[in-house]
Chain A
Amino acid sequence: MNTFYDLVVVGAGPAGSASAITAARAGAKVALIERGIYPGAKNVYGGVMYLGVLDKIVPSWREEIPYERWITKRETMVLDNSSSVTVTYHDESWGEPPYNGVTCLRSKFDSWLASKAQLLGVDLITSTTVSDIQFHNGSVKRVALKDTPDIVECKSVVLAEGALSLLSDRLGLSSPHKNNHLTLGVKEVLKLDAEIINERFNVSYDHGVDIEILGGLSPLAGGAFLYTNKDTLSIGVIVTLNTLKHHKIRPEFALEQIKAHPSIEPLIKGSKRTEYLAHLIPEGGWKDRGVLMRKGIYVAGEAASSTLAAGIWLEGVNYAIQMGIVAGEQAASYAKDENPSRSPLEYQNAIEGSFVGKNLKKLQHAPDLVLSDFVQRSLPLILNKSAKNILTVKDPLPKEGGIKAISNAIKDARVDKTTVLKAFLKTLWSFR
């Protein structure tokens, strides 16, 4: 194994591979170190990838990615005990280039993106766990590998180690509040024939559906998702660690609960579990980004809380890729400098100026709102009861009218109108 590099990238997920690709293009000698047997072996995601950001580094991605389905239907489903209100946006043009969202399996997608780095001369080193980063005279000197005497010398490091960021924590780069905003995602992948998926979800060929689910998890706070792959369904719940700790409810109980809801059960009927997965998600967003750069170390991806968890927008892979691109550029130029006197803020400013920083900053209050008691408990009740009041025909009683129906629903949900008004204004503010 080669033991001297300009740049060592820790983690061959989307952020890591994007940084390796960018740095290699800038002429750096790069090692991409992954602890799994293949890139994607340790990765889990819960939804949809929006990959327009790949135009910068792999312009041919639309013809090449190992995709499952192009998402043409986006549904938001709000659950109450035996009912649900669903809003669907169906756009057939999303099934054609340039596309919008796509579902992939990480074992295939992450391996594909890492292979793009390999084609540029990056050394991909799998089954290898980085255990430490060492410094000399205040600059990065080498990384140590777990349970071996081996070291890899390098001039800079991109830390794209994922949500559970053990190295960033140890180096004091993580935000001290990050742990308060972690959620646990548990997911099952269910095998179901492609034809049955097409019929059941009313899609054709390689088009698919993404359903984001609110409600049905009480007393836990969080959400759920169901989306279609080629011949599997991915279904999962995302719950806050704080409520998991407080209520002592097993996470897979919450998942079973969602799977058994009368609005969900018919969609997954007859499928067979092929995998059960769990992963942490940093939902703190911009506030929890931590120290992004220090002495030649650049933190990118979920280690830097790159996920956007803002209710109607749930994105992560695109933000990780963008952070990786910027980290790769800067790490390569840092490694080339004989006398690095660059400001640690340069990287942060570049992230801040990109869509990552702009979106995460603009929506920085949205994650708290989504997890608030009103959105978690009251909103599902009010929406479902309003729909029931309006749509149930109660002859011979006269119709109560829309406004009365909603105001009765609010009363039934035991929320006072000031709370609703406040929540409404807060929503407008958070999503402005």
Chain B
Amino acid sequence: MSNQWSPIYEKDQVSQELVSRYVSMTERLSSNTFFIDNKPHIVIDQDVCSGCERKTCITACPAELFVELHDSSIGFNYEYCLECGTCLILCSGDGALSWSYPKDGRGVSYLYG
């Protein structure tokens, strides 16, 4: 194992060893505590997102909440959001994201911050 360590990216591909160690985001988030709000705290504007070329949110969101759908619109879940704000800062589409913090203590609740 120890000799096989290689950089994250080799020749523009994620190294195969890294892929083999991959755990699903569902598993990664499974021990977190969430109190899910009944109303999304982030709302996306599909009209802007469909036309977005970069779609940075898909790879940058550490909870993998954004996916590209067949019609190049964005599928999005707010429920397991870690509330970091990366999508808001990196989004290049003007007004594509309406971002606010959840109310009533909802959202993620960290025990080990």
Q: Which residues of A contact B (CB under 8 A)?
A: 35-38, 40-45, 81-82, 105-107, 110, 126-129, 131, 146-148, 163-164, 166, 179, 182, 184, 186, 189, 216-220, 229, 232, 234, 241, 244-245, 247-254, 256-257, 260-262, 265, 273-280
Contact = CB atoms under 8 A, between A and B. Distances in A.
A50 to B, nearest CB: 17
Contacts of B83: 42, 164
Contacts of A182: 89
What 7 pairs across the A-B complex have the smallest Cβ distances? A127-B105, A106-B113, A164-B85, A262-B2, A189-B112, A37-B105, A278-B62
A217 B112 contact: no
Given A107-B111, A129-B103, A251 B5 contact: no
A42 B110 contact: yes
Interface stretch (B27-35, B44-52, B69-77): B27-35
Contacts of A234: 112
Given A126-B105, A217-B8, A241-B89, A275 B59 contact: no
B23 to A, nearest CB: 8
Nearest to B54: A245
A248 B101 contact: no
Contacts of B107: 42
B65 to A, nearest CB: 11
B6 interface: yes
B61 to A, nearest CB: 8
A219 B85 contact: no
B2 A277 contact: no
A280 B18 contact: no
17 contacts: A36-B105, A36-B109, A41-B113, A42-B108, A82-B3, A129-B100, A129-B103, A164-B85, A220-B8, A249-B59, A250-B60, A252-B25, A253-B14, A256-B21, A260-B17, A273-B31, A278-B86
A186 to B, nearest CB: 5
A163 B102 CA distance: 16
A182 B107 CA distance: 22
Contact of A276 (B22, B29, B109): B29
B109 to A, nearest CB: 5
A132 B63 CA distance: 28
Between B60, B101, B112, the greatest number of chain A beta carbons within 10 A of the residue's beta carbon is seen for B112
B105 A248 contact: no
A106 B24 CA distance: 27
Contacts of B56: 245, 248
A253 B90 contact: no
Contact of B60 (A36, A128, A241): A241
